[in-house]
Amino acid sequence: MNNENSVLKTLKPIVKVLAIVSIAASLAAIAVLVLFNFSEVLTIYTDEGTKYADGFSYPGFQTIFYGYGNMIIQGYTENTFNIWTFLGCFLPLFACLVAAIILGTNFSRRGTNKKKAIVEGVTAVLLIFGGIMLFNVDKLWIANAKQVPVGSYADYYNTYLLPAINGELYFGKDYFPTVVLVICLIAGVIKAINCGLLLFQKYYARSLNSQTVEINE
């Protein structure tokens, strides 16, 4: 029994340290997910004399909510609301916020392992999902642009985007989606480990209590 109790004694400081690391991971993920909206995530260059001859870099919020390039023209739309980049950005963002609050407010409170583990597990899944979605912002942008009805001004996909994709001159992803992916994956792994350790601690302690009851009986 003393040997079994030593396991819980070893786990206790590890769980506390991992909770602090997980809160820090939540804050880091929140920071990059917010910054994604204001950072340059896609860049396009087209031939001389065309709209994007000087190049244009799309900030993240345009790839989520709408896309009008470097000007707004009636009857001209490059992209519309993208549900996948929206979910990829805001689901993990709010999950991280909730997870940080729950871990912080229940830091030393007993009997909250299951609640914290559920929140951490869900947040881990959403972080990995969000990181992958935002990393693939270029593919989602292209897929969404194909579905935009041709307006009275110009067909963005066929006139600008498709030639740029084919090498006239350039369309590609900037570095920040990769940063988001790395941070979200690291945070997701930390939260998955924390989830597993919280559940192990809870059910290991419960098994000890059950054995104690059996001995006393």
Residue 41 main-chain phi, psi, to 5 deg: -120, -25
pLDDT of residue 164: 92
- Give the pTM: 0.86
Listed in sequence order, the residues at least 6 apart from 158 whose beta carbon sits closer than 8 Å to its beta carbon are none
pLDDT of residue 182: 98
pLDDT of residue 99: 94
pLDDT of residue 215: 44
Q: What would the two tokens of residue 57 be?
A: 């870099």
pLDDT of residue 216: 44
> How far is residue 104's CA from residue 116's CA, in Å, rounded to a whole number?
10
Nearest alpha carbon to residue 188 among 76, 52, 88: 88
Domains of the chain by range and CATH? 2-216 (1.20.140.150)
**Can you list the residues of the chain whose pLDDT is less than 50?**
1-2, 213-217
DSSP 165-181: HTTSSEEEE-SHHHHHH
pLDDT of residue 45: 93
Listed in sequence order, the residues at least 6 apart from 89 whose beta carbon sits closer than 8 Å to its beta carbon are 33, 36, 37, 60, 64, 130, 133, 134
pLDDT of residue 194: 93
pLDDT of residue 101: 93
pLDDT of residue 208: 63
Sole residue written with tokens 């897929």? 143
pLDDT of residue 11: 76
Q: What would the two tokens of residue 160 be?
A: 């600008």
Neighbour count for residue 187 (Cβ, 10 Å): 29
Beta strands in the chain (DSSP E): 40-45, 56-59, 170-173
Note if the bond before 169 is cis, omega within 30 degrees. Answer: yes
Q: What would the two tokens of residue 59 be?
A: 């900030």
44, 86, 152, 177 from 174: Cα distances, Å:
10, 18, 30, 7
Query: CA 24, 121, 200, 102: dihedral to nearest 10 degrees?
Result: 50
pLDDT of residue 67: 79
Q: What would the two tokens of residue 161 be?
A: 């985007």
5, 55, 197 from 9: Cα distances, Å:
6, 59, 14
